[in-house]
């Protein structure tokens, strides 16, 4: 077997967005690959024939990753193929061009072009589409400007690029840049007349949930000064041309809503007991009021971590008046089913990760990771899972993928689950270095699926160990609730886990252990180096160092910090400082590499800079590698060359201090 190399992920195939045709005979999905030389991702739509079980590439322009079915034989997708239009967009115009293609053959043809940046699009009636698109209150929305005024408007657009106006929070968003008074607004687009009719208000941030029989459900955050944590639920009726508010702002946070038979069911949280990380429950609308339908004390998403995904897909579907959804329990994500009587039943049972799925009476097609394999398409039918594609089969066949060994322990009477990757060609008579890897979130989980960076380090001769401390997902609200406790019980879990690993695997040299993590894992890495000198080196990625500064500079700081640290800079600054790793930086002696992205507005660059400066000031070896043009998602969806450089920096740092 060949050892896994750092750049192997450049050859991986990432799958997303599986969607069955209306007649359920075919499924479309996107396949993404890295183009290292061009430093970008190549994306194309593929077709899976449910009868023959064959699959083939449908598009070839390498830019198609989102789509809808127009009918049983036709797919609609946005793409930018015209050079003249590319120039207009570069100059500041907004256009989204949609192409249609028959899945049985023929070239794609232009179907419609919308003079807006379209985010979501759904067919609601013949040649009528619901779209969400960017609306800029302080900007110039060209689609509403007369042609004779367009030249002047274009000049103003160029001039406005030199400054930003801020008069609300959040004023920027990770992956989106400055968002002040910019909204994802809901419109009705008529292909025949080319009319664009706004449905939602100017200050409503909309997410489109469900469309059925000329009606649509959507959620909206409405704000002009400060976005609150609760949103509104609306139903739009195409035929009456009215949008009716079903749930008012201030009652709950609503993740999504679906039509189930004649009922409206939605996943929501009252955020009253466990704060913003409180698990969602299911509600039904009765006489205009939300009524609890089913409690669900597990994550209602796939939160199983991996650095081998790109793109997204549906995490819930409705079939025969039943709602199917992805849920995380312990180390895995599964598909469950909700009935209108409030009963929740788990459908799939195999461990691993379900990333997205679609469903019909014949079974469930899903994209997932099973065992230590990379993403493939699976069919679940008659209580049996069958792999249907072999996009990444050669990786599992020729590469030395190491299976994680489970290792659990108890702390404060609570079981903590973890895993260990032994070094490649492990010899029990040899001594090895080790790496503790800490997940982000904190409300996510590690599982037993493929994680490239960890597999790389194990193949380079390291023990790699990782666990799900308190604060993680999959174990219910109480387990995930570490509000006001950051750096205390979770730190104890991680240190006891390290002790447990060292005891079980005496081949690990306790003087050659490193630690790394990103986001919350970066916070914990910063915390660890200020509270112990047991680690020979550390790598802190997209981290948090100062809860006081993060409160006022990041896209979620004003509500995440106050909720998770249970304080603000005004009502209890001492508590925010107590939980800030920067407070303890003068105690740190561990050589630390910091990885940060210039456009990471979730854990802003200033967080890494403060900790880096503190270590340098106190004479500790430190290095910071900053990536321009990247955000909080660098390790998962950053540009291919940047992902390679990031992993090289980390691996070289470990080699310098641990080998």
**362-380 pLDDT tens trace:** 899 999 999 999 999 999 9
Kindly give, in sequence order, each residue whose CB lies less than 8 Å from that of residue 30, ignoring residues fewer than 6 positions away: 15, 16, 17, 43, 44, 45, 46, 64, 65, 66, 67, 311
Tell me the pLDDT band of 321, cut-offs 50, 70 and 90. very high
Q: What sign does the dihedral 590-630-31-360 (CA atoms) show?
A: positive
Tell me the pLDDT band of 162, cut-offs 50, 70 and 90. confident
Q: What is the pLDDT of residue 589?
A: 98
Q: What is the pLDDT of residue 357?
A: 98
pTM over 0.85: yes
The average pLDDT across 240-254 equals 95
Measured CA to CA, the distance from residue 195 to residue 540 in angstroms comes to: 50
Measured CA to CA, the distance from residue 606 to residue 627 in angstroms comes to: 13
Percent share of the chain, pLDDT over 90: 92
Q: Residue 290, class by beta-carbon neighbours within 10 Å (0-12 exposed, 13-18 middle, 19+ buried)?
A: buried
User: Which alpha helices (DSSP H) does 505-617 contain, by range?
Assistant: 520-529, 547-553, 557-564, 573-578, 605-617
Answer whether residue 123 is part of any domain.
no
- At 288 the three-state DSSP class reads coil
If you count them, how many residues does the chain have? 659
Q: What is the pLDDT of residue 143?
A: 67
- At 178 the three-state DSSP class reads strand
Answer whether residue 573 is part of any domain.
yes
Higher pLDDT, 146 or 213: 213
Answer whether residue 482 is part of any domain.
yes
How big is the CA angle at 163 (ends 161 and 166), to the nearest 5 degrees? 125
Measured CA to CA, the distance from residue 612 to residue 581 in angstroms comes to: 12
| pLDDT tens, position by position, 136-160 | 998 777 666 666 666 777 777 777 7
Answer whether residue 484 is part of any domain.
yes
Kindly tell me if the per-residue pLDDT of 566 is higher than 70.
yes
- Assess contact for 107 and 96: CB atoms under 8 A: no
Q: Exposed e or buried b for every residue in 416-450, given b needs 16+ CB within 10 A?
A: bbbbbbbbbeeeeeeebbbbbbbbbbbbbbbbbbb
Task: Count structural domains, the chain.
Answer: 1
- The enclosing domain of 582 has a CATH number of 3.40.50.1820
Kindly tell me if the per-residue pLDDT of 303 is higher than 70.
yes
Q: What is the pLDDT of residue 148?
A: 65
The average pLDDT across 575-594 equals 98
Domain that holds residue 643: 402-658
Measured CA to CA, the distance from residue 498 to residue 70 in angstroms comes to: 54
Tokens representing 320 are: 């025969």
Q: Are strands 508-518 and 537-541 parallel, antiparallel or unpaired?
A: parallel
Kindly tell me if the per-residue pLDDT of 504 is higher than 90.
yes
Report the DSSP beta bridge partners of residue 323: 318, 338
Tell me the pLDDT band of 345, cut-offs 50, 70 and 90. very high
Tell me the pLDDT band of 89, cut-offs 50, 70 and 90. confident
Answer whether residue 112 is part of any domain.
no
How confident is the prediction for the chain on average, in pLDDT?
Answer: 96
Measured CA to CA, the distance from residue 461 to residue 651 in angstroms comes to: 11
Kindly tell me if the per-residue pLDDT of 573 is higher than 70.
yes
Helix axes 489-504, 520-529, angle to 10 degrees: 80
Strands (E), 117-247: 118-125, 128-136, 172-173, 177-178, 182-190, 196-198, 204-212, 215-222, 232-237, 242-247
| pLDDT tens, position by position, 26-50 | 999 999 999 999 999 999 999 999 9
Answer whether residue 20 is part of any domain.
no
The average pLDDT across 523-537 equals 98
From residue 300, alpha-carbon distances to 131, 251, 521 in Å are: 26, 20, 22
Measured CA to CA, the distance from residue 548 to residue 556 in angstroms comes to: 13
Closest C-alpha among 66, 70, 31, 64 to residue 48: 31
- At 89 the three-state DSSP class reads helix
Measured CA to CA, the distance from residue 269 to residue 273 in angstroms comes to: 10
Q: What is the pLDDT of residue 411?
A: 97
Answer whether residue 243 is part of any domain.
no
Answer whether residue 19 is part of any domain.
no
Tell me the pLDDT band of 87, cut-offs 50, 70 and 90. confident
């Amino acid at each position: 077997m060949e050892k896994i190399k750092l750049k192997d992920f450049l050859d991986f195939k990432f799958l997303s967005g599986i969607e069955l045709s209306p007649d359920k005979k075919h499924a479309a999905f996107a396949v993404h690959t890295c183009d290292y030389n061009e430093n970008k991702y190549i994306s194309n739509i593929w077709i899976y024939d449910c009868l023959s079980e064959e699959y083939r590439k449908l598009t070839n322009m390498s830019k198609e990753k989102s789509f809808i079915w127009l009918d049983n034989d036709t797919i609609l997708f946005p793409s930018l193929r015209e050079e003249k239009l590319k120039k207009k967009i570069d100059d500041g115009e907004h256009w989204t061009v949609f192409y249609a293609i028959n899945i049985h053959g023929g070239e794609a043809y232009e179907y419609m072009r919308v003079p807006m940046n379209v985010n979501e699009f759904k067919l609601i009636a013949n040649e009528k589409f619901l779209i969400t698109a960017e609306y800029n209150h302080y900007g110039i929305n060209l689609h509403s400007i007369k042609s004779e005024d367009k030249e002047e408007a274009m000049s103003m657009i160029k001039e406005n690029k030199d400054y930003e106006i801020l008069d609300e929070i959040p004023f920027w968003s990770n992956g989106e840049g400055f968002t002040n008074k910019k909204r994802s607004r809901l419109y009705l687009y008529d292909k025949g007349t080319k009319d664009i009719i706004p449905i939602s208000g100017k200050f409503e941030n909309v997410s489109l949930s469900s469309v059925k029989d000329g009606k649509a459900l959507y959620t909206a955050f409405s704000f002009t000064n400060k976005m609150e944590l609760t949103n509104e639920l609306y139903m739009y009726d195409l035929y009456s041309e009215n949008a009716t508010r079903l749930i008012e702002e201030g009652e709950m946070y609503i993740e999504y809503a679906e039509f189930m038979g004649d009922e409206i069911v939605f996943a929501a949280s009252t955020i009253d007991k466990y704060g913003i990380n409180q698990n969602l429950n299911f509600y039904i609308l009765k006489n205009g009021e939300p009524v609890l339908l089913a409690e669900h004390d597990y994550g209602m998403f796939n939160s199983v971590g991996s650095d081998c995904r790109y793109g997204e897909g549906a995490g819930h579907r409705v079939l025969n008046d039943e709602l199917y959804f992805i849920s995380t329990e312990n180390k895995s994500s599964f598909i469950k089913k909700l009935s209108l009587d409030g009963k929740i039943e788990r459908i799939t049972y195999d461990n691993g990760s379900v990333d997205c799925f679609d469903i019909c009476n014949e079974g469930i097609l899903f994209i997932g990771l099973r065992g230590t394999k990379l993403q493939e398409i699976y069919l679940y039918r008659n209580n049996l899972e069958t792999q249907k594609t072999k996009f990444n089969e050669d990786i599992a066949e020729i590469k030395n993928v190491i299976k994680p060994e489970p290792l659990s322990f108890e702390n404060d009477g609570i079981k903590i689950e973890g895993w260990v990757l032994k070094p490649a060609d492990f010899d029990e008579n040899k001594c090895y270095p080790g790496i503790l890897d800490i997940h982000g979130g904190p409300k996510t989980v590690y599982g037993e699926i493929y994680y490239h960076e960890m597999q790389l380090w194990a193949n380079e001769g390291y023990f790699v160990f990782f666990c799900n401390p308190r604060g993680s997902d999959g174990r219910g609200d109480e387990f995930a609730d570490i509000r006001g406790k950051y750096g205390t019980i979770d730190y104890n879990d991680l240190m006891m886990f390290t002790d447990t690993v060292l005891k079980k695997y005496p081949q690990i040299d306790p003087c050659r252990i490193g630690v790394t993590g990103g986001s919350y894992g970066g916070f914990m890495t910063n915390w660890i180096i200020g509270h112990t000198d047991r680690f020979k080196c550390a790598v802190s990625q997209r981290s948090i160092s100062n809860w006081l500064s993060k409160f006022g500079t990041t896209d979620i700081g004003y509500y995440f910090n106050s909720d998770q640290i249970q304080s603000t800079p005004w009502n209890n600054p001492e508590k925010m400082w107590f939980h800030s790793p920067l407070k303890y930086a003068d105690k740190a002696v561990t050589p630390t590499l910091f990885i940060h992205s210039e456009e990471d507005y979730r854990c802003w660059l200033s967080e890494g800079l403060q900790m880096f400066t503190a270590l340098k000031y106190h004479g500790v070896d430190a290095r910071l590698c900053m990536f321009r043009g990247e955000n909080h998602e660098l390790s998962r969806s950053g540009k291919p060359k940047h992902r390679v450089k990031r992993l090289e920096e980390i691996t070289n740092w470990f080699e310098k201090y641990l080998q």
